[in-house]
Structure 1
Amino acid sequence: MRKVYCIGELLIDFVAENQGSDLSKANEFTKKAGGAPANVACAIAKLGGKSSFIGAVGKDPMGTFLLKVLQDERVDISLAQRSNKFTTLAFVSIAQDGERDFVFSRGADRELKYDKEIQKDFSGNLVHLGAATALLGGPLEETYNHYFFDALTKEAFISFDPNFRSDLWKGNEEVFIKKCLSYVSKSHLCKFSQEEALLLAGLSSRDPVEKACDILHEAGAKILTVTLGKEGTLVSKGEKKKVVRSIKVDPVDTTGAGDAFIGCLLYQISRLPSTDIIFEDRPEFLKMVKKANKAGALTTTQFGAINSLPGPELLDLNC
């Protein structure tokens, strides 16, 4: 089994549960561990896989809490860093249908420093890059770019998720698109929401997502998985496209659903004798996506991301 290195932010989600989508009216918040790459690392470890988190938290009680959560989930935190900056916070509102909105107060996540000794560990393994805060400049972006280059040169299997957050990129969407496309063009697997696929392709919400996939393939994307909520996931390999259906659930919080999906998918890929199988015209990859859809759906049935991640007993991963 290969190891998956998850690079990006680890932060506190202060979640306004059952208080609507307007944060200005929220009075009560629940502290949750969050950050998309950290969620992915936990999803993999919870299924019995090997994952390592690379990111920075503060030398404060919040940072200590976050690292303990990952450690309790059996994620390797030996490559995580502690910064003198305060731990990054996100304030999350949840609408009645489970959809979320975010407001960020950034701190330690941007302080991640590059460690050249890590690159040797990428060889033969998987590297997952979550970009919610990673492309906003500063030391984190410089380090993120270094690790991406290392993953390429060490021929690691690379997974990329843009994790677009409108609160972080208001008025600078074109910069976000340009930066993301350099990752999309060289990654083996990209995971997008429908909104992200259309955004990166330069299309509007009225355009079909299949058109967005065609544009992104022209930009160099190899395999695209576009999560469509309750409709499932669109898998695109150039001209070959198929929607893989999901299971029906009653969602209460969609936080972490996409992370559970890609975490479950990467876990299954890490167990393959060769990653070549996912590029071939065979049904195995679609079956893997179907199980990943189930992981994402089950995560929406509880509040919070990490504590809602399903274990292997719920996913029939050995079937």
Structure 2
Amino acid sequence: MIVVAGEALIDLVPQGPNAGAGPDGGRGPLPDLAPRLGGGPYNTAVALGRLGSPVAFCSRVSRDAFGEALLGGLREAGVDVSPVQRGDEPTTLAVASIGADGSAGYSFYVEGTADRLFAVPGALPVGTRAVSFGTCSLVLEPGATAYEELMRASAASGVFTALDPNIRAGLIPDPDAYRARFKSWLPSTALLKLSEEDARWLGGTPQEWLTAGPSAVVVTSGGEGLTAFTRDGATHSVPGEDVDVVDTIGAGDTVNAALLHGLSALGALSPIALGQLSGDNWSRLLRFAARAAAITCSRAGAEPPYAAEVGSL
């Protein structure tokens, strides 16, 4: 069982011919906004379920209509929602803006929302082998401290931990404090996955992060591909898959899920096994993740692929 811990939210995605219009209306009428189920951890859980991994979601979700829809999407993907806490607070909203190249930016509406009141669960589901963390849930208090506590406790108990910081700079009031906090998570992290943009914002290098704790660091470079860095000094790179990009919403989350799914299939959901993964298996794993992400980019919103669409590892 892989547990994904973090926020579920609603992406409001621009639609139609004015989808690239600016917020000031200077480029014409504002676009219609279509609600889409989302949130980095939520997308990761759905992607894992669609790929066929046993997966559970650990979060705090609103009892409003959006929250019910989010739970419905998880169940449809085969995700165990028994660890989900519920609250009467509203669901977080993220308004997306889509660039000419399909890249996505976000503005968030997070005050008083349900996930911010997440509490450390008494226990994770029986058979939990890995827990994945990341995105807004590790920024917004008081929930961030609870997720952080769960991360440290999971690692201390021998559970494989994965971290995808998925930086949303607009939500981080004190960048230096966040960077210091990020470094404090690394001793409790087995697999660190992040984008080139995240790496530049954080201001570190894979080699520095590996020294602090992780067995491997995977850096995504958009359409250019993915690179894995390991403690033995090796690097493993694969190119991106050619695809007509609709938008990039959920692409990084799909990579995260594909890595965890593939590591499970390879019997490498432990820090030691991850550190001993062969070059051939790294290439297989990274190509699998690149294929999965390309499919997500080929359709609107965070719509990760099913196992039959990606093929075997």
With the length of structure 1 as denominator, give the TM-score of the two structures. 0.89
Structure 2: which amino acid aligns with 1:58? S
The total of aligned residue pairs comes to 301
Say if 1:148 and 1:69 are closer, same or farther in 2 by CA, change over 3 A.
Answer: same
Identity, % of aligned pairs? Answer: 28
1:221 deviation in Å? 3.2
Structure 2: which amino acid aligns with 1:301? S
Counterpart contact for 2:5–2:59, Cα < 8 Å: yes
Q: Distance in 2 between matches of 1:248 and 1:28?
A: 29
Structure 2: which amino acid aligns with 1:245? P
Pairing partner for 2:287 from 285, 290, 294: 290
Within 5 Å, give how 1:231-310 maps onto structure 2.
231-238=224-231, 239-275=233-269, 276-280=272-276, 282=278, 283-305=280-302, 308-310=303-305
Match of 1:155 in 2: 158
Pairing partner for 1:181 from 180, 183, 192: 183
Q: Distance in 2 between matches of 1:9 and 1:281?
A: 31
Deviations 1:141-188 (A, max 9, x none): 22212211221122011100001012212x521122111112223311
**Is there any run of 5+ residues in structure 2 with no aligned partner, and where?**
none
Say if 1:285 and 1:141 are closer, same or farther in 2 by CA, change over 3 A.
Answer: same
Q: Distance in 1 between matches of 2:193 and 2:45?
A: 15
Counterpart contact for 2:254–2:304, Cα < 8 Å: yes
Higher mean C-alpha displacement, 272-281 vs 28-37: 272-281
Match of 1:113 in 2: 119
Q: Distance in 1 between matches of 2:163 and 2:47?
A: 16
Deviations 1:108-132 (A, max 9, x none): 11011222233x7465x01101132
Structure 2: which amino acid aligns with 1:221? P
Deviations 1:10-55 (A, max 9, x none): 0011111351162443331001000111111111110111111111
Structure 2: which amino acid aligns with 1:68? G
Structure 1: which amino acid aligns with 2:7? E
Structure 1: which amino acid aligns with 2:288? K
Counterpart contact for 1:278–1:284, Cα < 8 Å: no
Residue 179 of structure 2: SS of its match in structure 1? helix
Higher mean C-alpha displacement, 15-24 vs 40-49: 15-24
**Is there any run of 5+ residues in structure 1 with no aligned partner, and where?**
203-211
Structure 1: which amino acid aligns with 2:73? V
Structure 1: which amino acid aligns with 2:275? F
1:220 deviation in Å? 3.0
Counterpart contact for 1:14–1:91, Cα < 8 Å: yes
1:105 deviation in Å? 0.8
- 2:68 corresponds to 1:64: yes
Residue 115 of structure 1: SS of its match in structure 2? coil
Say if 1:297 and 1:146 are closer, same or farther in 2 by CA, change over 3 A.
Answer: same
Counterpart contact for 2:295–2:304, Cα < 8 Å: yes
Structure 2: which amino acid aligns with 1:241? T
Say if 1:77 and 1:167 are closer, same or farther in 2 by CA, change over 3 A.
Answer: same
Say if 1:274 and 1:301 are closer, same or farther in 2 by CA, change over 3 A.
Answer: closer
Residue 132 of structure 1: SS of its match in structure 2? helix
Structure 2: which amino acid aligns with 1:295? A
- 2:95 corresponds to 1:91: yes
Structure 2: which amino acid aligns with 1:289? L
Deviations 1:253-286 (A, max 9, x none): 1000011111011011122334344312512122
Structure 1: which amino acid aligns with 2:123? E
Within 5 Å, give how 1:111-260 maps onto structure 2.
111-118=117-124, 121=126, 125-138=129-142, 140-169=143-172, 171-202=173-204, 212-238=205-231, 239-260=233-254
Match of 1:314 in 2: 309
Match of 2:20 in 1: 20
Residue 288 of structure 1: SS of its match in structure 2? helix
Say if 1:235 and 1:126 are closer, same or farther in 2 by CA, change over 3 A.
Answer: same
Q: Distance in 2 between matches of 1:237 and 1:243?
A: 12
Structure 1: which amino acid aligns with 2:151? F
Q: Distance in 2 between matches of 1:269 and 1:281?
A: 9
